[in-house]
Structure formats: structure tokens, C-alpha cells
Amino acid sequence: EAGVTQSPTHLIKTRGQQATLRCSPISGHTSVYWYQQALGLGLQFLLWYDEGEERNRGNFPPRFSGRQFPNYSSELNVNALELEDSALYLCASSSGQGNQPQHFGDGTRLSIL
Amino acid sequence: SQQGEEDPQALSIQEGENATMNCSYKTSINNLQWYRQNSGRGLVHLILIRSNEREKHSGRLRVTLDTSKKSSSLLITASRAADTASYFCATGGGNKLTFGTGTQLKVEL
């Protein structure tokens, strides 16, 4: 069974640009989660999508947005990039039912120059 | 924001020794999970313990949960160099996960 896959592995952008990160969940999983792991800030919840709808959002500005497609894959878009957006962005998926673990991809390393 | 704190922040042991790391959390929970992260990579799910469970085993891993003290511990027995990683506890589940600050474990040969 294929795990959660994320692309690209690395992404280099400059301030003010826009970044798009992609995630494919484990087959059969309907929920996709996005987390940011920035140096010194730990793992922070960004967004949760389930059945194509945004279900919950962390404490991030509106320039962080995303969507979930009918095949349950997801995109995270970050507009007007700032230096502090440099981080490892992790995607996870789960079956969406309570008490089920989230399974993570290897992440996209976003570097802002 | 971080749900909890992990203790110690860093731990260095010799191969074959046991490693114990602790996690404290702030709010009531349905379950608590432990994850491992190898340097710069994604998180690997290790074990989930429900709030009505006190202890759970998986291979060389033993997790305890004390909901009265809002704390959990992860014990890795007979550690190996390959266990070198950061370990995180997380609360939540079907909705979002809130992670602890993590323990960096180094297992030396």
C-alpha cells in the first residue's frame, strides 16, 4: 500500500511569490491534514480537509489556503511568501474516523530567499 | 501552540540501553499518539493509546498514560542506533493533532 506522497520534495521561492504544494493521501483515506514545521516553532496545525471541504483551520493568515480534489488529493497554496514561511510542510491523511492515527508524508521543504 | 511539553528535550544513550521519554499535556483527551521523526523527514506513527487505556505495547515500545496527571511516557527497550530520531507525543485525532515539543534521542554504538 502506497503511503502519503508529497511533491515537490524541495521548493525554493523568493519573497512575494506564490507556492503550491501537493499531497496524495493513502488510498481509502478521505481526510487530509497540513502541518508546518518551522525551526523553533515546532509542528503547527494548518488545515484539515475532509470530503472536499475545509473542516478546520489553524492560526495562520488567509494567504495560506488549500483545497481537496474529488480524488481526495490536496493542494496547499501560500501566497505573498515571507521569509518566515520557510519550513517543512507536512501532509497527513486518515480515514477521518475518531481515534484513527494520521499517517504522514515526507514533506516539502520550502525555502524563501 | 504546543499542547504539551516533552521531557527530556534531548537524550543520549548507548545501544542496548532503555530510553524513556515523557509527555505532559494540558487538556482532556480521547487518545494520545507517539510519532518518530528521522532528521528532516516525515513523521512515522508509532502507537496510539486511548484515554481509557493505561498501558500499551508494540514490539520494543511501551506507552503508559496517566490521565489524572495528564502525562504519558514512551519506553524504548534495547535501543538500537536506528532508533536515533526525534520523538513527539500528539493529542487529538480525527480533527487535528497538537504536538509536544519533542525529545531528540541519540543512540550511540
Q: How many CB pairs under 8 A join A and B?
A: 65
Q: Find chain A residues with C-beta within 8 A of B44's C-beta.
A: 104
Residues of B in contact with A35 (CB under 8 A): 97
pLDDT at A95: 86
Q: For residue B94, what pLDDT is reported?
A: 56
Distance from CA of A30 to the nearest CA of B (A): 11
Give residues 61 to 90 of A whose Cβ lies within 8 Å of B: 88, 90
Q: Does the pLDDT value for residue B63 go beyond 80?
A: yes
Of residues B93, B95, B101, nearest to A42 (C-beta): B101
Q: Grid cell 492515527 — which residue?
A: A101
Confidence of residue B71 (pLDDT cuts 50, 70, 90): very high
Largest Cα–Cα distance in chain A? 40
**Residue A42, H or E segment:** strand A42-50
Record: contact A99-B40, CB cut-off 8 A: no
Nearest CA among A77, A88, A84, A78 for reference residue B42? A88
Question: Would you say A48 and A64 are in contact if contact means Cβ atoms under 8 Å apart?
Answer: no
Q: Return the higher-pLDDT residue of A98 and A70.
A: A70
d(CA B95, CA A109): 24
| B99 neighbourhood in chain A, CB within 8 Å | 42-43
Cα separation, B76 vs B98, whole angstroms: 22
Share of residues in chain B with pLDDT > 90 (%): 77
pLDDT tens digits along B6-42? 889 999 999 999 999 999 998 888 899 999 999 878 9
Could you identify the residue written with the cell 500528539? B90
Using the Cβ of B35 and the Cβ atoms of chain A, whether some distance falls under 8 Å is answered with yes
